[in-house]
């Protein structure tokens, strides 16, 4: 850990409450000590610390990717080629492909193999500016394999320079070879997750061909009774009515929202529940996207994320997510930046990051550009030229 003075930067503090307020300082310095930001201002001088001249480039908080499935094994390129020939995602899922294809590979993999694969992906993520990543289980779909995944995710987090937030997505799909899979998950897998990972967030995929609304709510009722916060995948292909239930039951977020009705989207925007939109998924799968513009205009708490996974969103880059969000969700560049830093940090309950302020963790990135709008305008190359994790320069 190095004490550092970053000088002559265009600093996006992200201190405002409005999604479009980046709190920009045209020319400022940032002093880091002990992994924390200790001062932000113009003309800071401190002898005896390492100095880094930003040369007018944009300094901003590192990205917080709040929805990923970055722990997996196996490959789904053949499935992707089927999709290119016209087979739908739900058809692949019904035929035992999709999530179940990865489930079989994860079950065959050791915990160490899963950990090492995740660490390799986290390394790619940090090079494009992500230093906090939520990582879900959900490719095990048996008690021992879900625990194996969560252990691999936790071990990888302890070895990475950034922060990994594990989520137990034990309702990611239903194993067609297990009778009454829902009951088994509730009565066997959930209690073991509670024992091994008390208080971890529980997640499920509520969709036709996967968990029904009633089945998902059965799982979540048991999980909340056991002290778990709840997030939910919903409205990717069909609006099954999850949003009113999520609001009533105090879930942390509803993620996807591509098929959400205008009425339910407005209800979500007027609640305390976050909406998480995943534009790379629509770009890769079917050109369907959430209505980010309407959600934000109605006052919604919006975060955007990569959904990094081996099937529907094979993308680790939050700059790519931002470019897609501006083009397909209707966001302005400043809104997309806030929705990938400050907003997801709040969703994950991490109040020590996502902004550049005194006392915050010094997870910082320097863009190879002097105007932050270029982050959304340009795409295809890595715009991140330097990365500091808790004050230590790692890129």
Average pLDDT by stretches of 10, the chain with 395 residues: 90 93 96 96 86 97 98 93 85 79 96 98 98 98 98 98 98 94 98 98 96 98 98 98 98 98 98 98 94 98 98 96 98 98 98 98 98 97 97 97
**Calpha distance 135→81 (Å, rounded):** 26
> Nearest CA to 230 among 252, 213, 204?
252
Reading the block at residue 207, the tokens are 């969709």
Angle at 201 between CA 199 and CA 202, to 5 degrees: 115
Q: What is the pLDDT of residue 45?
A: 82
User: In order of start, what are the domains of the chain with their CATH numbers?
Assistant: 4-62+354-393 (2.30.40.10), 64-347 (3.20.20.140)
**Calpha distance 62→4 (Å, rounded):** 16
Other CB atoms within 10 A of residue 392 CB:
14
Q: What is the pLDDT of residue 1?
A: 56
Taking each helix axis from N to C end, the angle separating 111-127 and 143-159, rounded to the nearest 10 degrees, works out to 40
Q: What is the pLDDT of residue 144?
A: 98
3-state class percentages of the chain: helix first, strand second, coil last, to nearest 5: 35, 20, 40
Q: What is the pLDDT of residue 95?
A: 77
> Nearest CA to 169 among 253, 307, 315, 69?
69
Report the greatest alpha carbon distance in the chain: 68
Angle at 120 between CA 2 and CA 185, to 5 degrees: 115
């Amino acid at each position: 850990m190095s004490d550092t003075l970053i000088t002559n930067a265009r600093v996006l503090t992200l201190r405002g409450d409005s999604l479009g307020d980046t709190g920009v300082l045209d020319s400022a310095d940032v002093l880091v000590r002990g992994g924390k930001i200790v001062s932000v201002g113009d003309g800071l001088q401190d002898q005896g610390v390492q100095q880094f001249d930003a040369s007018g480039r944009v300094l901003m908080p590192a990205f917080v990717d709040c929805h990923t499935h970055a722990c997996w094994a196996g490959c789904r390129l053949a499935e992707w080629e089927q999709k290119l020939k016209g087979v739908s995602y739900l058809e692949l899922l019904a035929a035992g492909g999709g999530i179940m294809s990865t489930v079989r590979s994860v079950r065959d993999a050791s915990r160490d193999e899963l950990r090492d694969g995740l660490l390799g992906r986290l390394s790619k993520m940090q090079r494009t500016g992500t230093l906090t990543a939520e990582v879900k289980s959900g490719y095990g779909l048996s008690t021992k394999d879900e625990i194996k995944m969560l252990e691999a995710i936790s071990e990888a987090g302890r070895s990475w320079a950034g922060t990994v937030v594990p989520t137990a997505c034990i309702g990611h799909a239903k194993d067609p070879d297990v009778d009454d899979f829902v009951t088994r998950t509730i009565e066997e897998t959930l209690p073991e997750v509670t024992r091994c990972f008390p208080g971890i967030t529980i997640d499920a995929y509520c969709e036709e061909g996967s968990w029904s609304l009633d089945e998902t709510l059965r799982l979540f009722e048991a999980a909340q009774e056991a002290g778990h916060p709840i997030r939910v995948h919903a409205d990717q292909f069909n609006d099954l009515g999850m949003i009113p239930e999520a609001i009533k039951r105090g879930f942390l977020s509803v993620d996807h929202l591509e098929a959400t009705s205008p009425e339910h989207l407005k209800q979500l925007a007027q609640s305390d529940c976050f909406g998480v939109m995943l534009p790379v998924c629509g770009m890769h799968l079917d050109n369907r996207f959430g209505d980010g513009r309407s959600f934000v205009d109605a006052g919604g708490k919006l975060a955007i994320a990569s959904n990094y996974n081996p099937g529907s969103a094979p993308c680790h880059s939050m700059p790519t997510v931002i470019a897609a969000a501006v083009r397909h969700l209707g966001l302005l560049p400043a809104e997309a930046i806030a929705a990938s830093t400050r907003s997801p940090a709040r969703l994950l309950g991490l109040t020590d990051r996502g902004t550049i302020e005194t006392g915050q963790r010094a997870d910082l990135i320097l863009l190879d550009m002097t105007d932050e709008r270029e982050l959304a305008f340009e795409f295809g190359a890595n715009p991140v030229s330097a990365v500091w994790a808790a004050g230590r320069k790692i890129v």
